[in-house]
Structure 1
């Protein structure tokens, strides 16, 4: 007897509930009762009943058929549920579709991902501004902030490359935005897009740079590349 009951239970199968729906249904404006109606519609569709009635759905819940009908109507109005026509021989049958719900959930996921990317980008920009202010020893002016944003948004320089140009300016003793802008211009013109490429480009240039030698007396000064004279 127990074995037969267990087999009957297994034969009923199972219904997979998308985790994204389970954890985010409230973001679609669904309360718990509406969410359960959606799940029951999903269950009926998976079992082959493509147009369950309010009586059939409410029989599995603690709401009456009228309340269930009101919720179904509300889901249709919100665009979370649609009724479609399906040909069955010579007849056209109505069926429920949760496709709009899945599309809205996908859009919600994409918005969340884009929102996270925007926040990460803001954090990177904030960090870059802080690095510049630390090197300059003062807050950046509105013009300097605009220039820094332009290097990223218009010129397409990666933040790490901008930091490398800043370090180059510090080493050269030319700590100003005009000098850094010239460095970035030269790098972009020569296809420099990464920190490693910037390092190799500067190293290669210095190997071929001709330094004036007025005398052989050691002055303790380190020769540097004057980007503004290029």
Structure 2
């Protein structure tokens, strides 16, 4: 094994979540701030919780002042925080923490899930309206639209159940929402 390969292995790897990689822009980070996050993360993974800014500046080939500015930006954006940790001997040490970043990421994922659910619910609603209009052979009146909305919103009937009730009504040749309401009950 040559010395370059040994040095490569000795340096280790920095693990980064694909979720952070995919969403750092949505979290409000610039490319430079993201690279700083990667640098800090590499130190944290090695167990160095508060690395010297000079070392980071040297790695990034920028000034210490620029590193400080980027750190300040991350703190202002509520992505990074500096915590003071007291050990068992009562000694205080500072540490970088990305807890805020992970909280923001969690909120972002929740928002995306809600958005997907809303889109899915709207598609289901449209599917129901279209099915009624096709089976009734006409546009639905505002009162009919409201009644169907009540089934979805208030009564929490599933799309499939409403469509099955519609099918049963059509087979009985009863094109009436009150009849379908009785079926659903």
Q: TM-score range by the shorter chain?
A: over 0.9
1:54 deviates by: 2.5
Q: Distance in 1 between matches of 2:75 and 2:120?
A: 37
Q: RMSD of the TM alignment (CA)?
A: 1.4
3-state DSSP class of the match of 2:29? coil
TM-score, normalisation: structure 1:
0.76
Name 2:163's counterpart in structure 1: 163
Moved segments of 4+, more than 4 Å = none
Q: Does 1:28 align with 2:24?
A: no
Q: Distance in 2 between matches of 1:121 and 1:13?
A: 47
Q: Does 1:53 align with 2:52?
A: yes
Q: Distance in 2 between matches of 1:154 and 1:5?
A: 67
1:22 deviates by: 0.7
Name 1:69's counterpart in structure 2: 68
3-state DSSP class of the match of 1:60? helix
- State whether residues 79 and 98 of structure 2, in contact with CA within 8 Å, keep that contact through their aligned partners in structure 1: yes
- 1:145-183 Cα distance to aligned partner (Å, 9 max, x none): 111111122112111111111111111121011111111
- 1:111-130 Cα distance to aligned partner (Å, 9 max, x none): 11221111111111111110
- 1:169-226 Cα distance to aligned partner (Å, 9 max, x none): 11112101111111112xxxxxxxxxxxxxxxxxxxxxxxxxxxxxxxxxxxxxxxxx
Aligned length: 184
Q: Distance in 2 between matches of 1:91 and 1:130?
A: 69
Unpaired segments ≥5 residues, structure 1: 186-230
Once structures 1 and 2 are overlaid, which stretch shifts more, 128-137 or 48-57? 48-57
3-state DSSP class of the match of 1:85? strand
- 1:82-115 Cα distance to aligned partner (Å, 9 max, x none): 1111124342011110111112112211211221
TM-score, normalisation: structure 2:
0.93
Name 2:79's counterpart in structure 1: 80
1:142 deviates by: 1.4
Counterparts of 1:1-230 in structure 2, within 5 Å, are: 3-88=2-87, 89-185=89-185
3-state DSSP class of the match of 1:133? helix
